[in-house]
Amino acid sequence: MLKNIAKTAAASVLHRSGALRLIDRPPLTVLGYHRVLGGRTEDVRTCPPGMVVSTEMFERHVAYAARHYRMVSLDDIEAACEGGRPLPDRACLVSFDDGWRDNYTIARPVLERMGVPAVVFVTTDFIGTRRSFWFTPMMLSLLRANGRSLARGDGQAIGWPPDLVAELDRLASLPRPLRAAQLNPLVEGLKRLPESEIEDHVAALVARLGPGASSSDPEPYFLDWDEVRSLDATGMRVASHTCGHKILTQVSEPEAEHELRASRETLQRELGRPVTSIAFPNGDYSPRHMQMASDAGYRLFFVSTRVHPGGPAGRVFPRPCVEDRVGRGPGGRFAPSLLEFHLAGAWDRLRGRW
């Protein structure tokens, strides 16, 4: 709470004084979303809360951006990079990661009503399937009550690494029911492991506690190909987020190359047009991965970090994550100064991370 109050106060002072406009920024500001959901974001059970923005807050974010920035499309950015008309001052792009179905059912109508373009970076292996990312079954198992509750010692019994055993024991000691935000350290800890190990650990946990959802869940989590093509044709361009959302720094070079090349080939086949833009999963990559992506045919690169290694000049765009708490003041109301504070990277600068 104190941190939020301090950030709100700093944002308000800098915003009212006009100082935020004086901060040196990249030529393109990107709002990087994942999911847009109705209802309370605190109730989400299928992904970390930091991946979610409420419909109401999303509408306020986009309305603010449309008033104070020049909204551009992926086509505008590609044309500027290829020597066409340059981007306008304060150019801004709305983006989404992964290809969640709510991008189509909830975000799309909002953007269409406001006349704002966007881009959706999709993980092609998940499109048109009922698959989920590994954190979804884990969170459902820990948060829903149709299995048994987590107990101290469960992590050790199923052979989890010591640091994650300690985290599971910590969760087991908390009052019930658990909340999704309390699982964030566990999710981040698992991300440090190779993908195959993550999946094995999650499967062992779900087998011990019981699944949190049944096969009768009504809707898939991700878009199908008809929805992807519809988005691409009507203002929400589609680009690559690799095949299976593998963190490139944690897989072999041949597997990383496959993630890059095969996703582009699949998208080009399904969309019937060239695909030249990619967003790196989890923001993790090296200059070698940037070169591999360039060799695979990509020309525009979107990254999660404001400071990024490697990449051709003018074609690498920082894309900080935007979620429900961004722009939400201590009283729960939308605070434009906080959104601008985040987009300008002011908090990162104050902490010496830029």
- Please give the structure tokens belonging to residue 27: 């030529």
pLDDT value for 351: 54
Q: Does 3.20.20.370 match the CATH number of domain 27-130+222-319?
A: yes
pLDDT value for 217: 56
Q: Which residue has the higher pLDDT, 258 or 318?
A: 258
**Interval 152-175: pLDDT, tens:** 999 999 999 999 999 999 999 999
- On the question of a cis peptide bond just before residue 26, with omega within 30 degrees of 0, the verdict is no
- Whether the pLDDT of residue 181 is over 80: the answer is yes
Cβ atoms within 10 Å of 247's Cβ, excluding its own: 21
Q: Which residue has the higher pLDDT, 287 or 219?
A: 287
pLDDT value for 306: 61
Domain ranges of the chain: 27-130+222-319, 135-209
pLDDT value for 309: 63
- Share of the chain residues as helix, strand and coil, in percent rounded to the nearest 5: 50, 15, 40
Give the residue-averaged pLDDT of 315-335: 88
- Whether the pLDDT of residue 206 is over 50: the answer is yes
**Interval 103-158: pLDDT, tens:** 999 999 999 999 999 999 999 999 999 999 999 999 999 998 566 889 999 999 99
pLDDT value for 205: 96
How would residue 49 be classed by pLDDT, with cut points 50, 70 and 90?
very high
Average pLDDT, rounded, for the chain: 89
d(CA 125, CA 305): 25
- Whether the pLDDT of residue 264 is over 50: the answer is yes
**Interval 282-302: pLDDT, tens:** 888 899 999 999 999 999 999
